[in-house]
């Protein structure tokens, strides 16, 4: 695609799981220098090896985004290795309870997913933004979700975490804008992948008495484009918001959902 991102330094949290590898490969294809951060260093190491085999410069970092000390240490390590951080893509997150009512959700379940999906992004943003502000350049892309825009029955804890992430993103965009730092959200709808197939689809199958294919089709029928998003769709949106093609876009929630949240 070549969006003028060559040699930009991008930190990707949750790089080895879910849609993370597709996003990492997309930035590697743009010739970025990549810091792949996550808790599972075996998975991070495998991803880093794959990217390096394709010619990318990659730093693999252990980081638990729920721990602010890890996030500040990560930012220091990346700056020490690459000299700066140009782009932060916050992917690290989880699904929380699926098919569970609000009143059946435990405090522990609620706290866990909010800590991961919301506080984790808050921690990494705090760690990288001072450097971006000093250099008068930066792009932050938080991966939210359309259930944080319309809500979803049976997904209250997850929806709360993603709704809250919008509340973190918009004030940060206002505060950082005068320093030429863009802060945006991409909001994927359902994204086909392991979590989708092992958590979301089985819940639909059980509730509606459908086969796997029928459950996928049932969800796709809710979208204007009648198809489920892929990790590559999300990766392409991240590339756009990280590039100067989007220089005048900040504080937005960009749904990647085939037409559901905004229609």
Q: What's the rounded Cα separation, in Å, for the pair 222 and 226? A: 7
Give 164's contacts (C-beta < 8 A, 6+ positions apart): 114, 117, 118, 148
Residue from 27, 82, 158, 260 carrying the catalytic annotation: 158
Q: Is 86 helix (H, G, I), strand (E, B) or coil?
A: coil
Q: Is 188 helix (H, G, I), strand (E, B) or coil?
A: strand
How many residues are given for the chain?
263
**Cβ contact 43:49 at 8 Å:** no
List beta partners, residue 37.
13, 61
* First CA to last CA distance, the chain: 29
Q: What's the rounded Cα separation, in Å, for the pair 6 and 124? A: 23
C-alpha 188, offset from chain centre: 9
How many C-beta atoms lie closer than 10 Å to residue 101's C-beta? 10
Active site residue 158: yes
Q: What's the rounded Cα separation, in Å, for the pair 33 and 8? A: 6
Residue positions annotated with a catalytic role: 158
């Amino acid at each position: 695609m070549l969006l003028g991102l060559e040699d930009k330094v991008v930190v990707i949290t949750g790089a080895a799981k879910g849609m993370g590898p597709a996003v990492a490969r997309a930035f590697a294809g743009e010739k970025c220098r990549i810091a792949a951060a996550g808790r599972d260093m075996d998975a991070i190491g495998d991803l880093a090896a794959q990217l390096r085999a394709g010619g990318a410069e990659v730093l693999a970092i252990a980081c638990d985004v729920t721990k602010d000390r890890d996030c500040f240490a990560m930012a220091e390590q990346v700056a020490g290795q690459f000299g700066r951080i140009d782009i932060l893509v916050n992917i690290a997150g989880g699904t929380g309870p699926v098919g569970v009512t609000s009143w059946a959700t435990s405090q522990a379940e609620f706290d866990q997913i909010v800590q991961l999906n919301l506080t984790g992004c808050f921690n990494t943003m705090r760690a990288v933004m001072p450097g971006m502000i000093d250099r008068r350049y930066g792009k932050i892309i938080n991966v939210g979700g359309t259930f944080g825009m319309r809500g979803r029955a049976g997904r209250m804890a997850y929806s709360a975490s993603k709704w809250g992430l919008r509340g973190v993103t918009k004030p940060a965009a206002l505060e950082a804008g005068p320093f030429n730092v863009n802060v945006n959200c991409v909001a994927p709808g359902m994204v086909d992948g392991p979590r989708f197939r092992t958590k979301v689809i089985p819940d639909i199958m059980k509730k509606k008495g459908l086969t796997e294919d029928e459950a996928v089709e049932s969800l796709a029928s809710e979208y204007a484009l009648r198809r489920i998003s892929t990790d590559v769709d999300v990766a392409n949106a991240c590339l756009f918001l990280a590039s100067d093609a989007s220089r005048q876009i900040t504080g937005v929630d960009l749904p990647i959902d085939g037409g559901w949240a905004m229609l």
